Amino acid sequence: MTDTRLQGARLLLRPVEPGDATATYAGWMNDPEVTRYMETRFTTHTVEGLRDYITSMRAKADTWFMAIVLASDGRHIGNIKLGPIDRVHGLADVALMIGARDCWGQGYAAEAIALISDYAFAALRVRKLTAGCYHANVGSRRAFEKAGYHVEGARRAQYFCDGEYQDGVLLARFHPEFPAAGA
């Protein structure tokens, strides 16, 4: 991963650093409401464990693990990940978390998704970006759709959450120069 910084209207995306592993970040990862639709909800997270995770992510040449930071005051409110990048097929996954609950519902997720997506298309020449979310995670789905993603399909009864099985929603956005086959 490089020292890439992406500036948006209200956000800055910068590499997550080991110093970002704080009690606040660990609090997000241990908050059942924040991790409700994340597979990480099954693990207890510590500052040291997060530091180790950040270090391992920074070592991956095919992955961009970025802090979502408010441009107004520099506050770290979540993370977004691009990768791994599959250079053969021109693909990459996008995933994010807005951990600061007071920042939910303000369009920060959509702005971060759009920033990292535009970067992937322009600088990395990725052809297609993919993402997924639980069916009940309407906020995440809307954020991806606002950033130009479209629902491609669903994996029926993929996840167990809130006492029932839920579909996994599959989303994608294509680079404008590389439209979907058959489109």
Per-residue model confidence (pLDDT) at position 181: 61
Q: Is the per-residue pLDDT at 139 higher than 90?
A: yes
Q: How many domains does the chain have?
A: 1
> Is 56 among the domain residues?
yes
Domain hosting 54: range is 6-127
Q: Is the per-residue pLDDT at 2 higher than 80?
A: no
> Residues 9-27: what's their mean pLDDT?
97
**What confidence category does residue 40 fall into, taking pLDDT thresholds of 50, 70 and 90?**
confident
Per-residue model confidence (pLDDT) at position 183: 55
What angle do helix axes 138-146 and 108-122 make, rounded to 10 degrees?
50
Closest CA to 116 of 65, 50, 177: 65
Closest CA to 175 of 89, 49, 109, 99: 89
Per-residue model confidence (pLDDT) at position 177: 86
> Is 133 among the domain residues?
no
> Is 166 among the domain residues?
no
**Cβ distance 100 to 78 under 8 Å?**
yes
- Considering the entire predicted model, what is its pTM? 0.94
Could you tell me the CATH number of the domain that includes residue 40? 3.40.630.30
> Is 139 among the domain residues?
no
66-106 pLDDT, tens digit each: 999 999 999 999 999 999 999 999 999 999 999 999 999 99
> Is 135 among the domain residues?
no
172-181 pLDDT, tens digit each: 999 988 877 6
Per-residue CA distances from 130 to 18, 46, 91, 113, 122 (Å): 27, 29, 8, 11, 16
> Is 64 among the domain residues?
yes
**Cβ distance 163 to 119 under 8 Å?**
no
- Rounded Cα distance between 96 and 119, Å, is 15
Looking at every residue in the chain, the average pLDDT score rounds to 94
**Cβ distance 144 to 37 under 8 Å?**
no
The neighbouring-strand residues paired with 66 are 15, 80
> Is 97 among the domain residues?
yes
> Residues 148-168: what's their mean pLDDT?
95
> Is 158 among the domain residues?
no
Q: Is the per-residue pLDDT at 32 higher than 90?
A: yes
